[in-house]
Structure 1
Amino acid sequence: MNGILGEKRKLAVLSLILTLVLSIVIGPINTSAAENTFPWMNKELSAKERANLLVDAMTLEDKVNFITGNVNNYYGFYNEGVEKYGIPALTMADGPVGVRIANPDVQNKQSTAMPAAIGLAATWSTEAAKKYGEVLGNEAINTTHNVLLGPGLDIARNAFGARNFESLGEDPYLQTQIATNYVKAIQSNNVLVTAKHYLLNNQEKDRFTADSQASERAINEIYARPYADLIKDADLGSVMCSFNKVNGVSACDYGDLLTNLLRGNLNFEGFVMSDYGANVSTSKSIQAGMDLETPGDPYGYWGKKLIDAVQNGEVSEETVNQSAYRILYQMFDKGLFDNPAQNNPIDAKAHGAIAREIAAEAMVLLQNNNNVLPLNTEKIDSIAVIGPDADNGFTAGGGSSLVNPTYTVSPLEGIKNRAGDKVKVEYTAGTDPISAGDILPGPDAVPSSFLLPTADSSEHGLKAEYWSNKNMEGNPVFEHTAKQVNLNLGFYNYEGFNAQSPKLDKLPGSLNGMMSARFTGVINVPKSGEYTLSTTSYGSSKLYIDGNLIIDNAGTKLGTVEKTVTLEANKNYDVKIEYKTDYIANGGNDNGGQMRFGWKTADGVVDENIAKAVELAKKSDVAVIVSKTYDSEGYVDRFDMELPNNQEQLISEVSKVNKNVVIVNESGTAVEMGAWKDDVASIVQAWYPGQEQGNAIADVLFGDVNPSGKLPVTFPTDEDSTPVTSEEQYPGINLVTKYTEGIFVGYRGYEESGIKPAFSFGHGLSYTKFDYKNVKTKVTSNKSGEPTIEVSLNLKNTGDVTGSEVVQVYSGELPTNVETAPKQLAGFKKVELQPGKQQRITIQLDAKAFSYYDEESNEWVMPSGQVPVYVGSSSSDIRLKTTVTVSNENGKNFNKGTNGNSSKK
Structure 2
Amino acid sequence: MKLRSRLFSKLVALTVIGAIAAAPLQIANAESNDGGARPWMNTSQSAEKRTELLLDAMTLSEKIDFVTGNVNNNYGFYNAPIERLGIPALTMADGPTGVRVANPEIQDKQSTALPTPIALAATWNTTTASEYGDLVGNESFNTTHNVLLGPGFDIARLPWGSRNFESMGEDPLLQSKMGVAYVNAVQKYPVIATAKHFLLNNQETDRFTVNSIASERAMQEVYLRPFAAAIEKASLGSAMCSFNEINGTPACENKEVLTTMLRDQLNFNGFVMSDYGANLSTAPSANAGLDLETPGDPYGFWGSKLMNAVQNGEVSEDVIDEMVSNILYQMFDKGLFDHPAVNKQIPAAEHGAKAQQIAEESMVLLQNKDNALPLKADSLKSIAVIGPDADNYATVGGSSLVKPTYTVSPLEAIRKRAGKGVEVKYAAGTDPISTADIMNGPSAIPSSMLSPVDENGNVIQGEHGLRAEYFNNTNLEGQPSVVRTDGQVNMNLGFYNYDGLNGQSSKLTPVPGDLNGRMSARWTGAIAAPQDGEYTLSLSSFGSSKLYFDGKLLIDNKGEKVATEKATLQLKAGESHDVRIEYRTDWTDGDSDFGGLVRFGWEAPEEVTDSKMQKAVDLAGKSDVAVVVTRTYESEGYIDRSDLDLPNNQEQLIKKVAAANPNTIVVQMSGRAVQMNGWQDDVKSIVQAWYAGQEQGDAIASVLFGDVNPSGKLPITIPVDEHSTPVSDEKQFPGVNGDAEYSEDIFVGYKGYEKEGIQPAFAFGHGLSYTTFDYRNLKTKAKGNGQDSTIEVSLNLRNTGAVTGAEVVQVYAGKLPTSVATPSKQLAGFAKVELKPGKQQRVTVKLDPKAFSYWDENKKTWVMPSGQVPIYVGGASDDIRLTGSVAVKGSGK
TM superposition score category, shorter chain reference: over 0.9
Please state how far the C-alpha of 1:183 moved relative to its aligned partner. Answer: 0.5
Contact 1:367 1:765 in 2 (8 A): yes
Task: Give the deviation of 1:642 after TM superposition.
Answer: 0.9
Amino acid at match of 1:480: R
Alignment correspondent of 2:345: 345
Aligned letter for 2:435? A
What is the aligned partner in structure 2 of residue 516 from structure 1? 520
Describe the shift of the 1:297–1:250 C-alpha distance in structure 2 as closer, same or farther (beyond 3 A): closer
Q: How far apart in 2 are the matches of 1:97 and 1:529?
A: 45
1:166 aligned residue: 166
Name the stretch that deviates more: 316-325 or 553-562.
553-562
2:418 maps to which residue? 419
Write out the 4+ residue segments of structure 1 that deviate beyond 6 Å after TM superposition.
none
Instruction: Give distance in 2, aligned partners of 1:602 and 1:616.
Output: 22
- The answer to whether the 8 Å contact 2:396/2:504 transfers is no
Cα deviation, residue 586, structure 1: 3.9
Q: How far 1:570 moved relative to its partner?
A: 1.4
What is aligned with 1:691? 694
Match of 2:443, SS state, is coil
CA displacement at 1:225 relative to structure 2:
0.6
Give the direction of change, closer, same or farther, for the CA distance of 1:753–1:88 in structure 2 (3 Å limit): same
Q: Answer whether contact 1:296 1:302 (CA < 8 A) is retained.
A: no
Structure 1 pair 296/52, CA: closer, same or farther in 2 (3 Å)? Answer: farther
| Counterpart in the other structure of 1:496 | 500
For residues 833-848 of structure 1, what are the structure 2 equivalents within 5 Å?
833-848=835-850
1:658-685 Cα distance to aligned partner (Å, 9 max, x none): 1111100000101000000000000000
Task: Answer whether contact 1:199 1:241 (CA < 8 A) is retained.
Answer: yes
Instruction: Give 1:640 deviation, angstroms.
Output: 1.1
One-letter amino acid of the counterpart of residue 810, structure 2: Q
Q: Cα distance, 1:639 vs. partner?
A: 2.7
SS at structure 1 position matched to 2:404? coil
Amino acid at match of 1:197: H
String of CA shifts for 1:187-240, please: whole Å, max 9, x gaps.
101100110000000000011000000000000000011100000000000000
Query: Which moves more between the two structures, 526-535 or 124-133?
Result: 526-535
Residue 450 of structure 1 deviates from its aligned partner by 0.4
Asked if 1:808 corresponds to 2:810, the answer is yes
- The whole-number CA distance in structure 2 between the counterparts of 1:623 and 1:778 is 50
Aligned residues of 2:787 and 2:850 also touching (Cα < 8 A): no
Secondary structure of the 2:93 match is strand
Instruction: Determine which of 507, 510, 523 is the counterpart of 2:511.
Output: 507
Contact preservation (8 Å) 2:784, 2:889: no
Contact map agreement 1:70 1:297 (CA 8 A) in 2:
no
| TM-superposed deviation, 1:36 | 7.1
Hey, what does 1:399 align to over in structure 2?
398
Aligned equivalents of 1:608 and 1:657: distance in 2?
A: 15
Give the Cα–Cα distance (whole angstroms) in 2 for the partners of residues 72 and 790 of structure 1. Answer: 54
Q: Which residue of 1 aligns with 2:733?
A: 730
TM alignment of 1:539-618, pairs within 5 A: 539-583=543-587, 585-618=588-621
For 1:446, the equivalent position in structure 2 comes to: 445
Decide whether the 8 Å contact of 1:708 with 1:804 is kept in 2. yes
User: What is the distance in 1 between the residues matched to 2:656 and 2:376?
Assistant: 25
SS in 1 for 2:341: coil
Q: Contact between 2:394 and 2:504, CA under 8 Å: does it hold in 1?
A: no
State the SS of the aligned residue for 2:310.
Answer: helix
Which whole-Å CA distance do the structure 1 matches of 2:65 and 2:540 have between them? 46
Letter in 1 for 2:417: R
Matched residue type, 1:868:
P
Aligned to 1:271: 271
Rounded to whole Å, the distance in 2 between the matches of 1:647 and 1:249 is 42
Structure-2 separation of matches of 1:516 and 1:620? 45
CA distance in 2, matches of 1:847, 1:290: 31
C-alpha change, 1:722 and 1:590, in structure 2 (3 Å) is: closer
Higher mean C-alpha displacement, 597-606 vs 634-643: 597-606
Distance 1:548 1:193 in 2: 58
Structure 1 stretch 541-550 or stretch 832-841: which is displaced more?
A: 541-550
Going from structure 1 to structure 2, the CA distance change for 1:446 and 1:224 (only over 3 Å counts) comes to same
Q: 1:258-278 deviations in whole A, cap 9, x for unaligned? A: 111101110000000000000
CA contact (8 A) 2:30 2:38 kept: no
The 1-side partners of 2:348 and 2:525 are apart by 46
> One-letter code of the match for 1:463?
R
1:737-777 CA distances to partner (integer Å, 9 max, x unpaired)? 11011100000001111111000000000000000000001
Q: 1:375 and 1:631 mapped to 2: Cα distance?
A: 30
Q: Counterpart in 2 of 1:196?
A: 196
Aligned pairs for 1:295-444 within 5 A: 295=295, 299-392=299-392, 394-444=393-443
Cα distance in 2 for residues equivalent to 1:92 and 1:625: 39
Q: 1:208 to 1:549 in 2, by over 3 A?
A: same
* TM-score relative to the length of structure 1: 0.94
Deviation, structure 1 residue 561: 0.9
Q: Look up the match of 2:121.
A: 121
Report how far residue 299 of structure 1 moved: 1.4
How far the C-alpha of 1:604 sits from its partner, in A, is 2.0
Partner SS state of residue 196, structure 2: strand
For 1:661, the equivalent position in structure 2 comes to 664
SS at match of 1:799: coil
Shift of 1:37: 2.2
Residue range with higher mean Cα deviation, 586-595 or 690-699: 586-595
Matches within 5 A, 1:689-838: 689-781=692-784, 786-838=788-840
Task: Report if aligned partners of 1:535, 1:598 keep a CA contact under 8 Å in 2.
Answer: yes
Which amino acid in 2 is paired with 1:389? D
Cross-structure match for 1:284: 284
Instruction: Determine helix, strand or coil for the equivalent of 1:691.
Output: coil
**Greater alpha carbon shift after TM alignment, 616-625 vs 69-78:** 69-78
Aligned to 1:458: 462
* Deviations, residues 780-821 of structure 1 (Å, cap 9, x unaligned): 239x98110010000000000000000000000000010000
Report the secondary structure of 1:573's partner residue: strand
3-state SS, counterpart of residue 343 of structure 2: coil
How far did residue 245 of structure 1 move?
A: 0.3
User: Which residue is 1:19 aligned to?
Assistant: none
Question: Aligned to 1:151, what secondary structure does the other structure show?
Answer: coil
Alignment CA distance shift 1:136-1:170 (3 Å):
same
TM-score, reference length from structure 2: 0.95
Is 1:630 matched up with 2:633? yes
Q: Which amino acid is 1:144 matched to?
A: T
The one-letter code of the counterpart of 1:300 is G
Tell me, in whole angstroms, the C-alpha distance in 2 between the residues paired with 1:872 and 1:824. 13
CA RMSD of aligned residues (A): 1.4
Counterparts of 2:534 and 2:873, CA distance in 1: 54
Cα 1:318–1:586 change in 2 (3 A) is: closer
One of 510, 517, 534 as aligned partner of 1:530: 534
Q: 1:633 to 1:854 in 2, by over 3 A?
A: same
Give the C-alpha shift of residue 75 in structure 1: 6.8
> Match for 1:672: what amino acid?
Q
Q: How far is the alpha carbon of 1:407 from its aligned partner? A: 0.3
Cα 1:76–1:425, aligned 2, differ >3 Å: closer, same or farther? farther
Q: Tell me which of 481, 484, 490 is aligned to 1:480.
A: 484
CA distance in 2, matches of 1:244, 1:795: 45
Distance 1:699 1:75, change over 3 A: farther
Native 8 Å contact 1:348 1:406 kept in 2:
yes
Residue 26 of structure 1 is matched in structure 2 by none
Percent identical among aligned pairs is: 63
Determine the C-alpha separation between the residues in 1 that align with 2:693 and 2:359. 7
Per the TM alignment, residue 725 of structure 1 is displaced from its structure 2 partner at its CA by: 1.0
Gaps of 5+ in 1: 1-29, 893-905
Deviation per CA, 1:18-48: give whole Å up to 9, x if none.
xxxxxxxxxxxx9654697211000010001
Within 1, Cα distance between the matches of 2:605 and 2:38? 78
Given that 1:75 and 1:102 are in contact with CA atoms closer than 8 Å, whether structure 2 keeps it comes out as no
Shift of 1:298: 5.6
For the Cα contact (< 8 Å) 1:436–1:500, is it kept in 2?
A: yes
SS at match of 2:294: strand
